[in-house]
Amino acid sequence: MPIYPLYALLFADSGLDGAQISVLLAVWSAVGIVAEVPTGALADRFSRRTALAVAGVLQALGYVLWIALPGFAGFAAGFVLWGLGGALASGAFEALVYDGLAARGEAAAYPRLLGHVRAAGLLAQLPAAGGATVLFAVGGYALAGWVSVALCLASSAVALRLPEAPTAEDDEPEPGYVDLLRAGVAEAASSPPLRSAVLVVALLEGLDAFEEYFPLLARAWGVPTAAVPLAMVAIPLAGALGALVAGRRRPPGARRLGGVLGTAAVVLLAAALAHRAGGMAAVAVFYGLYRYVLVFAEARLQDEVRGPARATVTSVAGLGSELSAFAVYAAWALGEAWAVGALVLVAAGFLTRSGRRQ
């Protein structure tokens, strides 16, 4: 979306300070906390494909509010809608893909496909960055926002055309909404291997909240506003490379993944020490290593699910990631990139310890 590399700058240029921007991001996460698991059960009960389509519409409406009401209240309302859409999509997408592969006897291909999907999503940020630069120069934040609205609606139309595997056998009664909600939460809590996988994914996905601060980081390190989207091009490219490499490798142990994530944290801290525009290259290296680790963690989570409420279980991890994102927001408010780097080191230690418990 062209608005992605610009919206933090939109908030700042609308008069919001760093603390207010963190509050907005916290509102976004709070909506996810409330809606994440209930919407996952909705996707399990009715249609994961429809959940993805509705998610795109809600995100588009959120951007409309940003354009029409540029201020703290309008931005917060937009994040509420986007948060609801994100909650609908979270879990539904992974469940749709994994069960579709499993129905064809190809569940083992999930890590490779997930790596390609994550890489494609990150690579899409490259034309979006170039487009954001052009759109901002021509029509400012408003034009970038309206184009993003159109793209969200187009993604909803595409989602409605995705194939969807049946969620129950023809001779079995279809579970009700409450039954699926209970089953998903119970499985996530009661199965030790799945519980460990859920906690790891929750922590790692929460770290991705740092991405929201990349434009502010670039500008603080000396990149002009108009050049921020282009300065960030290397970050999604490195993330895509990390995801692709993960999809082509055999899953390493948790302790080795913890070492990779620890290396990523050291790279980020070195960039914070340099405090120069060139440090964005080091941020790209950090992000590539982080995405490499995340693909393996997400694939392990899907492999551990055994019951019918796959989207609900995945949404439990999504709920955890929304909670852990608050730690990123707090870290940024306290010490910006320094504090976030320290938080990544903590996550690396947790990942390593989870391997010792397996």
The tens digit of pLDDT for each residue in 217-251 reads 888 888 887 788 778 888 989 999 999 999 887 77
d(CA 22, CA 333): 7
Domain that holds residue 27: 7-163+177-357
Question: pTM of the full predicted structure?
Answer: 0.77
On whether residue 121 sits in a domain, the answer given is yes
Measured between alpha carbons, how far is residue 95 from residues 90, 158, 309 in Å? 9, 17, 9
Report the pLDDT averaged over residues 188-203. Answer: 89
On whether residue 1 sits in a domain, the answer given is no
Q: Is the pLDDT of residue 168 over 80?
A: no
pLDDT in tens, 268-301: 999 988 888 888 999 999 999 999 999 999 998 9
On whether residue 168 sits in a domain, the answer given is no
Q: How far is CA 12 from the centre of its chain?
A: 22
Task: Specify the residue for token string 């937009």.
Answer: 78
Give the CATH number for residue 197.
1.20.1250.20
Q: Is the pLDDT of residue 170 over 50?
A: no
On whether residue 314 sits in a domain, the answer given is yes
Q: Count the domains in the chain.
A: 1
On whether residue 288 sits in a domain, the answer given is yes
Q: State both tokens at 60.
A: 């588009």
d(CA 221, CA 11): 18
Q: Rounded to the nearest 5°, which phi and psi values hold at 169?
A: -70, 150
On whether residue 169 sits in a domain, the answer given is no
